[in-house]
């Protein structure tokens, strides 16, 4: 009786241990009563399955370790847990959070493991049960957590394909772990040892899901904005693509969040030390403990109980919290493939780019804000193949909402004929180029130009009003600009103070790069002719763009040559205009002098005595048109008549 009580204590002991390990996740909402409800569901499920299992004999055709592990144990238990979680998931309110779903499912598994361990402890018919009492609890808790994770994603998804995919994962992934575990135990011998690394892989997988689930959206929030999980993922991918581009440029604009974090508090270290010490000190008394329980263990079971399982539990505690949830939000990067897109919306045709196209949506790098609900038509071009025109609707526009994300999310309304073929070609093209780049195959550097274009290396967007200056002549050049919308005038100020217009730049053109390439101050001033949307990037991005994109470098050299030629032509024209103005000024001065000499033989005269008849006479006498004579006479009337002739001439010269 004493040994039975001791076995029951050992059977229940892993439950509070696992609860303590994952307590940091269990303290989030919903309340403990909600968790207790799932615990009871799990306990009831275990009772039903185990009681029915005793009355139903397995078919003779399905005998053996693998059949027993996968069909008789894992398939039945995980299918039942999947059905229960699915029913509870769709029964729950819209405030569904993936992390809460995972936690609730873990409590379901905890309740199941509790009842199963107690029933096994009451009827120990083989020594392997002793190993199972300690190792099956994390198995049930974590595999049920996986079911909760995938069921929650299925609930958040909006397409039938993704719902079916997550449903398959919710059943298949836990089934594989559970089936392998039971198969290894049923085979016994050296196969028993492999349950330890299997459980380590399960712990790591679950920790990954727990960390990632903390950044997944709330169901109610998606419904509120008419979004689905696929739409939310498209916006997340966009940020990941842009992070990769900026990081490949060497930008340090955003702080890097590491994937791992060591949260080893003194309390946690002491608990791990106590568990390992207890295992070490129990080794000398291992035979006594086993004999007191009335069991005889095999060597591999002995090693599992007193060596591998204590190490496994210690490792489990160490791994919990080691993955940084903020990494999934701020540091994941994906390599983009830039796709050209033609968008027809509100009667306008817009040429833009996107980094990824799925069967459901795409995120476009638009310059203007588009109203949600606006219908549009899109066509895509990637490398040498194109898509048909696809009708879509604007779901979300992020202009001005996030510093690093600016664009428009479009959901496809229909998939016309040929679109899926385009997607297949695109995915194959993407995979082949990605493998070549990541594996550093010959020519991988040339592939980078598929990821890097002027529009993709820009770091942020700014709004400028008409007349506002981007930079002034003489400023230091530390950034360059890309016009996404509007027009910008380039104006040069001469030494005389005269402002000479050099050029007017429009959408898609780069400016400010000459000061960066030449390492010199700005040669002119940039003034917005209209309201503009301007993308800005650091000098290092321009250097990387020139290095990895030969086509851009060639265009830049050609642009420099054209600008230099245009500047030279403008300067020559200005010089010619100045010479012409000087000659005209000289002619007027000579005309004025002739008028003065014609109307007065003395150094002093009265200009107000010049009448209309005098003007006509002077015009005929000097062979000068009446208009020029009249203008000169009007100037004379504004000058002090008492001044000498040379002073009068100087005064007229100043007025011209």
**What pLDDT digit, counting tens, does each position of 616-635 carry?**
776 666 666 777 767 766 76
**What pLDDT digit, counting tens, does each position of 552-611 carry?**
777 777 777 776 776 677 777 777 777 776 666 666 656 666 555 555 443 344 555 566
Q: Output the pLDDT for position 228.
A: 94
Whether 402 contacts 233, CB under 8 Å: no
Q: Indicate the class that CATH gives domain 339-450.
A: mainly beta
**What pLDDT digit, counting tens, does each position of 148-198 carry?**
999 999 999 999 999 999 999 999 999 999 999 999 988 888 888 999 999
- Look at 81 and 400; give whichever has higher pLDDT: 81
Q: Is the torsion defined by CA of 410, 411, 413, 419 positive or negative?
A: positive
Whether 227 contacts 393, CB under 8 Å: no
For residue 197, the surrounding DSSP H or E stretch is helix 195-213
Segments of the chain assigned to CATH 2.60.120.10:
456-548
CA 221 – CA 402 distance, rounded (Å): 18
**What pLDDT digit, counting tens, does each position of 430-443 carry?**
888 888 877 877 77
DSSP E strand boundaries for 431-498: 460-464, 469-471, 479-485, 488-493
Residues facing residue 504 across a β-bridge: 489
Whether 527 contacts 488, CB under 8 Å: yes
Categorize the per-residue pLDDT at 614 as very low, low, confident or very high, splitting at 50, 70 and 90. low
Q: Output the pLDDT for position 642.
A: 47
* 390 backbone dihedrals φ, ψ, rounded to 5°: -120, 125
456-548, superfamily in CATH?
Answer: Jelly Rolls (2.60.120.10)
Cα torsion 96, 100, 103, 109 to 10°: value is -20
CA 240 – CA 244 distance, rounded (Å): 6
Q: Which of 131, 138, 134, 146 is nearest to 110 (CA)?
A: 138
Q: Output the pLDDT for position 588.
A: 62
State both tokens at 214. Answer: 């903390």
For residue 380, the surrounding DSSP H or E stretch is strand 375-382
Inter-CA distances, 454 with 33, 228, 441, 556, 610, Å: 56, 31, 25, 11, 68
CA 349 – CA 467 distance, rounded (Å): 27
Inter-CA distances, 513 with 1, 435, 493, 548, Å: 87, 33, 19, 16
**What is the number of helices (H) and of strands (E) in the chain?**
26, 15
Inter-CA distances, 212 with 70, 143, 149, 236, 418, Å: 28, 16, 10, 13, 35
**What pLDDT digit, counting tens, does each position of 242-281 carry?**
888 777 766 654 567 888 887 778 888 898 888 888 777 7
* SS3 of residue 462 by DSSP: strand
Categorize the per-residue pLDDT at 1 as very low, low, confident or very high, splitting at 50, 70 and 90. very low
State both tokens at 172. Answer: 């298949």
CA 84 – CA 565 distance, rounded (Å): 76
- Mean pLDDT, to the nearest integer, of 331-347? 86
Q: Are strands 479-485 and 510-511 parallel, antiparallel or unpaired?
A: antiparallel
pLDDT at 422 over 90: yes
Alpha carbon 420 to its chain centroid, in Å, reads: 25
């Amino acid at each position: 009786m004493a040994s039975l009580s001791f076995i029951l204590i050992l059977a229940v002991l892993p439950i509070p241990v696992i609860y303590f390990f994952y307590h940091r996740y269990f303290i989030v909402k919903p309340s403990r009563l909600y968790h207790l409800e799932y615990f009871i569901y799990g306990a009831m499920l275990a009772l039903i399955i185990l009681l029915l299992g005793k009355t139903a004999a397995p078919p003779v055709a399905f005998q053996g370790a693998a059949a027993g592990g996968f069909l008789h144990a894992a398939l039945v238990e995980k299918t039942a847990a999947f059905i229960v979680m699915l029913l509870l998931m769709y029964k729950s309110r819209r405030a569904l959070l993936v992390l809460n779903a995972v936690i609730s499912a873990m409590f379901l598994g905890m309740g199941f493991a509790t009842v199963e361990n107690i029933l096994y402890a009451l009827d120990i018919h083989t020594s392997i049960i002793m190993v199972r009492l300690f190792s099956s609890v994390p198995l049930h808790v974590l595999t049920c957590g996986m079911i909760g994770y995938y069921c929650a994603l299925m609930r958040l998804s909006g397409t039938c394909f993704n719902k079916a995919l997550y449903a398959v994962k919710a059943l298949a992934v836990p089934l594989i772990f559970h089936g392998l575990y039971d198969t290894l135990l049923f085979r016994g011998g050296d196969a028993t040892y492999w349950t330890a690394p299997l459980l380590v892989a399960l712990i790591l997988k679950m920790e990954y899901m727990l960390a990632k689930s903390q950044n997944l959206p709330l169901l109610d929030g998606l419904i509120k904005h008419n979004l689905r999980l696929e739409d939310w993922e498209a916006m997340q991918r966009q940020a990941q693509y842009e992070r990769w581009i900026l990081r490949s440029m060497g930008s340090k604009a955003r702080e890097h969040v590491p994937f791992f974090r060591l949260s080893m508090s003194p309390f946690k270290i002491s608990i791990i030390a106590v568990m390992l010490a207890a295992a070490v000190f129990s080794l000398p008394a291992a035979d006594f403990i086993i004999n007191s329980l009335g069991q005889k263990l095999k060597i591999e079971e002995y090693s599992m109980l007193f060596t591998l399982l204590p190490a496994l539990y210690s490792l489990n505690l160490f791994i919990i919290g080691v993955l940084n949830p903020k990494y999934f939000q701020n540091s994941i990067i994906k390599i983009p493939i830039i796709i050209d897109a033609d968008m027809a919306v509100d009667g306008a045709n817009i040429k833009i780019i996107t980094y990824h196209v799925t069967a459901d949506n795409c995120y476009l790098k638009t310059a203007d804000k588009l109203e949600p609900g606006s219908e549009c038509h899109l066509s895509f071009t990637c490398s040498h193949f194109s898509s048909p025109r696809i009708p879509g609707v604007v779901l979300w526009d992020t202009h001005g909402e996030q510093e690093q994300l600016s664009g428009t999310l479009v959901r496809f309304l229909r998939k016309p004929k040929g679109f899926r073929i385009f997607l297949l070609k695109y995915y194959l093209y993407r995979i082949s180029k990605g493998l070549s780049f990541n594996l550093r195959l010959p020519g991988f550097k040339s592939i980078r130009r598929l990821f890097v274009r002027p529009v993709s290396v820009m770091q942020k967007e700014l709004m400028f009003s008409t007349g506002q200056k981007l930079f002034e002549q003489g400023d230091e050049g530390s950034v360059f600009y890309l016009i996404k919308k509007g027009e910008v005038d380039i104006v040069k100020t001469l030494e005389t103070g005269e402002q000479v217009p050099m050029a007017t730049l429009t959408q898609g053109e780069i400016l400010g790069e000459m000061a960066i390439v030449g390492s010199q101050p700005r040669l002119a001033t940039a003034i917005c002719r209209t309201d503009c949307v301007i993308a800005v990037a650091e000098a290092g991005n321009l250097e990387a763009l020139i290095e990895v994109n030969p086509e851009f470098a060639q265009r830049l050299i050609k642009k420099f040559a054209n600008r230099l030629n245009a500047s030279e032509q403008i300067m020559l024209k200005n010089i010619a205009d100045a010479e012409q103005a000087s000659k005209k000024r000289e002619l007027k001065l000579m005309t004025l002098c002739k008028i003065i000499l014609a109307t007065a033989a003395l150094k002093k005269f009265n200009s107000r005595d010049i009448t209309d008849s005098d003007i006509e006479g002077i015009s005929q006498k000097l062979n000068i048109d009446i208009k020029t004579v009249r203008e000169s006479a009007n100037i004379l009337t504004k000058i002090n008549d008492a001044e000498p002739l040379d002073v009068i001439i100087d005064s007229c010269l100043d007025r011209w």
